[in-house]
Amino acid sequence: RIMRPDDANVVGNVHGGTILKMIEEAGAIISTRHCNSQGGEPCVAALARVERTDFLSPMCIGEVANVSAEITYTSRHSVEVQVNVMSENILTGAKKVTNKATLWYVPLSLKNVNKVLEVPPIQYARKEQEDEGKKRYEEQKLDRLETKQRNGDVIIPVINPEPHTVGYSQSSLIHLVGPSDCTLLGFVHGGVTMKLMDEVAGIVAARHCKTNIVTASVDAINFHEKIKKGSVITISGRMTFTSNKSMEIEVFVDADPFVDEPRERYRAVSAFFTYVSLSKEGKPLPVPQLLTETEDEKRRFEEGKGRYLQTKAKRQAQMQQAAQP
Amino acid sequence: RIMRPDDANVVGNVHGGTILKMIEEAGAIISTRHCNSQGGEPCVAALARVERTDFLSPMCIGEVANVSAEITYTSRHSVEVQVNVMSENILTGAKKVTNKATLWYVPLSLKNVNKVLEVPPIQYARKEQEDEGKKRYEEQKLDRLETKQRNGDVIIPVINPEPHTVGYSQSSLIHLVGPSDCTLLGFVHGGVTMKLMDEVAGIVAARHCKTNIVTASVDAINFHEKIKKGSVITISGRMTFTSNKSMEIEVFVDADPFVDEPRERYRAVSAFFTYVSLSKEGKPLPVPQLLTETEDEKRRFEEGKGRYLQTKAKRQAQMQQAAQP
Amino acid sequence: RIMRPDDANVVGNVHGGTILKMIEEAGAIISTRHCNSQGGEPCVAALARVERTDFLSPMCIGEVANVSAEITYTSRHSVEVQVNVMSENILTGAKKVTNKATLWYVPLSLKNVNKVLEVPPIQYARKEQEDEGKKRYEEQKLDRLETKQRNGDVIIPVINPEPHTVGYSQSSLIHLVGPSDCTLLGFVHGGVTMKLMDEVAGIVAARHCKTNIVTASVDAINFHEKIKKGSVITISGRMTFTSNKSMEIEVFVDADPFVDEPRERYRAVSAFFTYVSLSKEGKPLPVPQLLTETEDEKRRFEEGKGRYLQTKAKRQAQMQQAAQP
């Protein structure tokens, strides 16, 4: 579809969250279709996880987003979908790859939302494809277990914070879940949640560096808990790390099912977003260093640095590999 | 994309206007891309006309709309696009044709919106395709000239109208044109206008018969005049004709460019919409007869009857043709 | 959240209605949460009244709206919420108070929408806070009874009106209530209604003075009647008074529950909005004088003048008080 002014920031770059929402919708369609293809109990595919996603080039107002999705692996209870987004300038004909994302879905029964159904297996062109898929499946399963730990943290507001401290840029947003935010099962679309997360992370980044910012990447996101229609969700973000030209922001989503539910507020999702600051010509700008004050902030900064260095090393390894004959 | 509650009426049928908007967006993308494909002066394709469109089967919340578009004819200054919409129930896999629509676009220069550019010719697989396209082109050109006449009419409100009279159900809506309603040229997308027209026509139909109603067809619509960002548009609808099971509603769109423009209010578009009333099981219900009072109302009723009988005759002819071996 | 192009008029000032909608959403969340905090029958807090609200400074596209809400008084069956809106320019860090609003909510049972539940009492830091709250409670109760009278009036359209007469700028809008407009109880959010009211009032003001206009204040609004999903609402506005630099517009909301309801059209809400006209530099411009023709128009003009002078006197008294040591 054509990108509109509301999809973009003031200089015309489309929000990463808008793109994540389109990606997730495409993934939900293809995996729901696949999981119902053998007849049997009708189901809706729910987003369980999005792998780390890089935004390769910014998309602009007036460009057309071409989204294509393909199922690349199926386990007994989950579907891996690869989604590619190309931006197309229909005036010049220029096309660019904006994103490649990998998403995992789980089929939930329409009649009983707590029942996970079986996934019809797909055919692989080559045996290696299945083996590689299985490896990815095992890796993400491990990673999902790990992130379950980190969920107790809260963001406490700071009065009169100093510029460039964590408290200075941290932000939160509340949203009342409406009917159009939800799937047929009455739970929030993963894409809607990611769009709100990107919105908060973008505000944190802009508050910190006071310039035009764009989403550079999103770390793997695990959707542990469903969010029901009528809930109030609080999305909070705080900066955890800055390199010379990038900022890492941690985002939490907490759900309050406070009507007709005996349940307490709970942490539904959390993730790391990386932003860069761009000049009007689209060049990366230096970013003010994050000032850490407490022990926790210093620890999180070091952890963020670890993730940053790991990603950098991985990318260099890939580039070297690509450069080899 | 997946149809959401906001796209539909209370019983879950997707509004005809939502579908028309998707059709127009697809048409605008493919024709803008085509008109810029030879380099030269950059342009945006603006909707000039939509041919009569039938809604063959209702689409529901949760279904996926598959929209495909193809360029079927080019004249020197216009492009004919054929758009097909299929609804797909991704749970059962069932697909149904919802619409087939034919749209005409004209390329306007990005630098000078009043300059119509030349359209690169397409290649035809067979000579007859070109001849048939040329025939359609000539027919629509003629029809566009004719409808230009009818444009002076206004809808005058009635105080305390009787049920089932024209004054009883007539309705109007004002809308302030926002940035997301507009193309890169700063003019309202044809699809946005059609969605608003369907909204008003639907309210007229529902006020008349007080039951669940759906769009059955839209007569050819000509877009004579562009509408600029920041304008206020008034969309008015009145019932012109009822058969046993259908209602015809005439809709006018008037634009008021009231900020920083010396221009008067003008008629931008007008069209006829046909609605049917459906029971909860999806069966057509009888419709209360329209009570005409003035001479003008009686004349419009007869004209509507003429259109109704003509369409009916055409459809029967097509069915007989289709039944022949 | 970040203000987007669609939230604002052509010169970039955010619509008052967008702000009122955010305020009401925050109020609904905090009061629904409070009313469900003691367990017992689940309920949704419905907006009963908004006190007079001044827009202290315009908000612009790209700014972030910070909305904070606090419960300041509870009676047996109602909750008073104070909401503050700050606009923050995240590029410069500048913050300004945009609004302070006071809203009253009533908890309605989720199972039986006509049953008003009891509100858990709040703790006051000082006895005077409770006494002042009680005084505000009694005052608004009185005012709500009074406004019930004024509700019979209708806006009758005028053919070919002269510029600057009441008939020249009066406007009305119809809206079909969709799922996203509604609470869990299936009734329109008060904030949605206020946004539509501001939209109509803004069009009346712009038609009158043909310049850029912004909402300056909204008089107290009482929500006497709920509006159900699937209703058609007609929002009508007419100018009642002009001072040198401001315009007062009266807005009515009428609901038509026309599908599967035996009920007649009824007046749901009415209110006065005040607008000012701003130059491109943000300076107030003089406003053309309203031309009154009928006796009713002259009477309403005088009443509007009364409200204008009263507000002016109150503001001067407050300023003097604030200036004292």
Count of domains forming chain A: 2
Q: Considering Cα of B124, then B126, then B130, then B136, what sign does the dihedral take? A: negative
In a domain, A158, yes or no: no
How does pLDDT run across A298-322, given as a tens digit for each residue? Answer: 999 999 999 999 999 988 888 888 7
Task: Read off the pLDDT of each residue in C279-292 and give the average, rounded to a whole number.
Answer: 90
For residue B201, what pLDDT band results from cuts at 50, 70 and 90? Answer: very high
- B305 — contact with chain C (CB < 8 Å)? no
**Rg of chain C over all Cα atoms, to the nearest angstrom:** 20
How does pLDDT run across B88-125, given as a tens digit for each residue? Answer: 988 888 899 999 999 999 999 988 888 999 999 999 99
**A195 lies in the same domain as A273:** yes
Q: DSSP letter at B278? A: B
ipTM of the complex: 0.74
Nearest residue of B to residue C229 by CA position?
A: B10
**Rg of chain B over all Cα atoms, to the nearest angstrom:** 20
**B196 lies in the same domain as B89:** no
For residue A113, what pLDDT band results from cuts at 50, 70 and 90? Answer: confident
How does pLDDT run across C43-85, given as a tens digit for each residue? Answer: 899 999 999 999 988 888 888 888 999 999 999 999 999 999 9
pLDDT score of A18 more than 80:
yes
The SS3 of residue B247 is: strand
**C95 lies in the same domain as C212:** no
Choice among C129-138, C151-160, C293-302 with the minimum mean pLDDT = C151-160
Residues of C in contact with B202 (CB under 8 A): 176
Kindly determine whether residue A92 and residue B42, on different chains, have CB atoms separated by under 8 Å. yes
- B32 — contact with chain A (CB < 8 Å)? yes
In a domain, A154, yes or no: no
Separation in Å, CA of C178 to nearest CA in chain B: 6
β-bridge pairing B247-256 and C247-256: unpaired
Residue C117's CB: how many other CB atoms inside 10 A?
21
Q: For position C95, what pLDDT does the model report?
A: 87
pLDDT score of C158 more than 80:
no
CB burial class (10 A; 0-12, 13-18, 19+) of residue C312?
A: exposed
CB-nearest to B10 from C173, C230, C256 is C230
Separation in Å, CA of C25 to nearest CA in chain B: 19
**C171 lies in the same domain as C309:** yes
How does pLDDT run across A90-112, given as a tens digit for each residue? Answer: 888 889 999 999 999 999 998 88
In a domain, A160, yes or no: no
pLDDT score of A280 more than 90:
no
Nearest residue of C to residue A263 by CA position?
A: C39
Q: For position C148, what pLDDT does the model report?
A: 61
CA-wise closest residue to A249 among A195, A171, A314, A191: A171
In a domain, B153, yes or no: no
Q: DSSP letter at B183? A: -
- And the tokens for C243? 């001072």
Cross-strand bridge partners of residue A14: A8
Q: For position C27, what pLDDT does the model report?
A: 93
b (16+ CB within 10 A) / e for A77-89: ebbbbbbbbbbbb
For residue A68, what pLDDT band results from cuts at 50, 70 and 90? Answer: very high
Choice among B127-131, C124-128, C281-285 with the minimum mean pLDDT = C281-285
Kindly determine whether residue B6 and residue A33, on different chains, have CB atoms separated by under 8 Å. no
Contacts 24+ apart (CB under 8 A), A130-137: A130/A73, A133/A72, A133/A73, A133/A74, A133/A80, A134/A73, A134/A75, A136/A73, A136/A80, A136/A102, A137/A73, A137/A75, A137/A78, A137/A80
**A129 lies in the same domain as A171:** no
Structural contact between residues B7 and B14, judged by C-beta atoms closer than 8 angstroms: yes
Kindly determine whether residue C90 and residue A232, on different chains, have CB atoms separated by under 8 Å. no
- A186 — contact with chain B (CB < 8 Å)? no
How does pLDDT run across A215-241, given as a tens digit for each residue? Answer: 999 999 999 888 988 888 999 999 999
CA-to-CA separations, C61 to A5, A288, B179, C93, C218, in angstroms, rounded: 11, 25, 12, 15, 22
- And the tokens for C152? 């019979």
For residue C150, what pLDDT band results from cuts at 50, 70 and 90? Answer: low
pLDDT score of C276 more than 80:
yes
Residues of B in contact with A43 (CB under 8 A): 91
Q: Which residue has the higher pLDDT, B159 or B253?
A: B253
Mean pLDDT (chain C, rounded): 88
Q: For position C37, what pLDDT does the model report?
A: 86
In a domain, B174, yes or no: yes
pLDDT score of B149 more than 70:
no
In a domain, C157, yes or no: no
3-state helix/strand/coil string of B85-128:
EEEECCCCCCEEEEEEEEEEEEEEECCCCCCECCCCCCCCCCHH
Q: Domain range spanning residue A296?
A: 166-323
What distance in Å separates the CA atoms of residue A201 and residue C320, rounded to the nearest whole number?
A: 44
User: What is this structure's pTM?
Assistant: 0.81
Kindly determine whether residue C36 and residue A258, on different chains, have CB atoms separated by under 8 Å. yes
Choice among A3-12, B71-80, B235-244 with the minimum mean pLDDT = A3-12
CB-nearest to B210 from C9, C157, C258 is C258
Q: Under 8 Å CB-to-CB from C118, ≥6 apart: which residues?
A: C76, C77, C107
The distance of Cα A85 from the centroid of its chain, to the nearest Å, equals 14
Q: B146, B174, B205: which is the final residue of a domain?
A: B146
Cross-strand bridge partners of residue C198: none
Q: For position B113, what pLDDT does the model report?
A: 85
What percent of chain B is predicted at pLDDT more than 70?
96
- The CATH number linked to B257 is 3.10.129.10
Q: Which amino acid is at B105?
A: Y
Kindly determine whether residue B91 and residue A5, on different chains, have CB atoms separated by under 8 Å. no
Active site residue A198: yes
Task: Read off the pLDDT of each residue in C157-163 and give the average, rounded to a whole number.
Answer: 81
**C298 lies in the same domain as C203:** yes
- Give residues 41 to 100 of A whose Cβ lies within 8 Å of B: 42-44, 61-62, 64, 88, 90-93
**A118 lies in the same domain as A208:** no
The SS3 of residue C30 is: helix
**C7 lies in the same domain as C140:** yes
Q: For position A279, what pLDDT does the model report?
A: 85
**A316 lies in the same domain as A177:** yes
What distance in Å separates the CA atoms of residue A161 and residue A190, rounded to the nearest whole number?
A: 33
Task: Read off the pLDDT of each residue in B65-72 and give the average, rounded to a whole number.
Answer: 93
How does pLDDT run across C89-110, given as a tens digit for each residue? Answer: 877 778 899 989 999 999 999 8
